[in-house]
Structure 1
């Protein structure tokens, strides 16, 4: 069976129509070039070139085989380039998840835009997923990278994962625009200890739920939960309706819902983590390239 070297030799001779010039172009002597062309013809069982002392020309089968040889070599080069890209993380696929609250944070669109310009051949597979579900999927090998809002709860899981912190996003108190305290710029949570709060169910948003409980505990009260909302933007709708107050990430300001005012919280613990999570031992070059590109300063 012929090999790529014989194909390259044949294409070069066909382009030069001279064994002498082809040998010079290939940096080999003429006898081994002639031997390889003859071996190729013997393998195919057809004469590809007519040659005499003065001229070399393609036979009809030779013209047809020239087209095929060029296509085979082009495909081989394409495959070589694709494998090189895959090995260096510039092609393949990346399974990436993010929590619903991250859709309001500029880090998500900025990261996706930057990465798509950096590695346009990588196929991004995106999905929404809560933080704890992301950690379970990462450990199970069902996810490559996740935008998460908290550290893993279980030490065994934490040892398998890498966290690259993007932001410690401040938490704000959302309250109705007609609330007596709405004219303030900031507030201590203890000042609304007697107010009703609106939260997402803990099984959906444990990070935000627990952070409210922690900050309230520092202020020596237990928050009165009056209402639940499945989605984080649903909290704001209920706040605007006067159903209570809500703790939300600062990026939720972008929702700009009429009837809602945001106040900064006077508490150093009033923040939510935003980080990229991945497996420590992940050998996938696409993941390594993504993390390297996205965590390095621009």
Structure 2
């Protein structure tokens, strides 16, 4: 197999047509350069240069071989550069999972857009995945990064995390207060803010049982604090559907504040006094993570600076 270093030496001499100048460019002494060219010629079984006391010229065979040598070197340089980008996580593939409400959040769009601008050679794929299924898919390598929701006190459960959870790092990228989505015709709609107790006995539109939504968790906590059992009405698995059911007069809903971007004439969004806050998180594998995942995590940490540290824990949304 041809020595790539010798091919580079040959191309440099062919460019200069002078062994001394070529040696200077290559930062080696001239005698070793001459020996390397002679070894290459011996290996190829043909002369590459005609040498005289006054000039160095390419032989006809050398001129033809030069074209092939340049192609090999260009391909090697391209492969090396590609490998470096892969190693740095600026090229490759990244599978991103998200819960159904995440794409509405400003943090999600800002991070994905910003990362694509920084690493345009990373091919992104997206998949909606329930929060309860995200840890397993991250650990199994189906997903590289997952966006989900967690309650502010989720780090208290770290000691109880199972082996799957311990293989996952989590970083908070945004904190989102909760608001009440109420019918525009209700007595609550015109208020600047309300206490949860004032709507605790309303019929609540919630997420389907078993999906593990952080919004359902927050709703049950609020009801427990108010000393009531939640009165549950219709179920919906999309924030837009929750709001649409509120507009249809089927109850009220507890939603992230960004849901107010869904402007419906029959719905009002009212801040909750001492509103609970959900944490929007990203997670990734700590055991054999992809380079692109590490790059995305580093980008998100630099862009948000929300978490005081990286936590290992479970996702509840």
Say whether the fold is shared (TM-score over 0.5).
yes
Q: Distance in 2 between matches of 1:278 and 1:135?
A: 9
Q: Distance in 2 between matches of 1:50 and 1:118?
A: 50
Match of 2:27 in 1: 27
- For residues 58-114 of structure 1, what are the alpha-carbon distances to aligned partners after superposition, in whole Å with 9 as ceiling and x for unaligned? 222211211111111122122222222222222222222111211111001110122
Within the candidate set 230, 255, 266, 2:237 is matched to 230
Match of 2:295 in 1: 289
- For residues 122-153 of structure 1, what are the alpha-carbon distances to aligned partners after superposition, in whole Å with 9 as ceiling and x for unaligned? 22222221211111211222222211112598
Q: 31-40 vs 132-141, which deviates more?
A: 31-40
Q: Distance in 2 between matches of 1:231 and 1:247?
A: 12
CA contact 2:173–2:300 (8 Å) conserved in 1: no
Change (3 A) 1:128 1:42: same
Instruction: Give yes or no for the alignment of 1:211 onto 2:218.
Output: yes
Change (3 A) 1:102 1:283: closer
Q: Distance in 1 between matches of 2:146 and 2:26?
A: 50
1:187 partner SS: coil
| RMSD of aligned Cα (Å) | 2.1
Q: Distance in 2 between matches of 1:232 and 1:205?
A: 15
Match of 1:105 in 2: 105
Matches within 5 A, 1:133-152: 133-150=133-150, 151=154
Shift of 1:282: 4.0
Match of 1:53 in 2: 53
Q: 146-155 vs 41-50, which deviates more?
A: 146-155
| Superposed structure 1 runs of 4+ greater than 6 Å apart | none
CA contact 1:227–1:243 (8 Å) conserved in 2: yes
Match of 1:278 in 2: 284
Q: 252-261 vs 120-129, which deviates more?
A: 120-129
Structure 2 length-normalised TM: 0.86
Structure 1 length-normalised TM: 0.91
CA contact 1:190–1:221 (8 Å) conserved in 2: no
Shift of 1:233: 0.8
Q: 273-282 vs 237-246, which deviates more?
A: 273-282
Instruction: Give yes or no for the alignment of 1:77 onto 2:77.
Output: yes
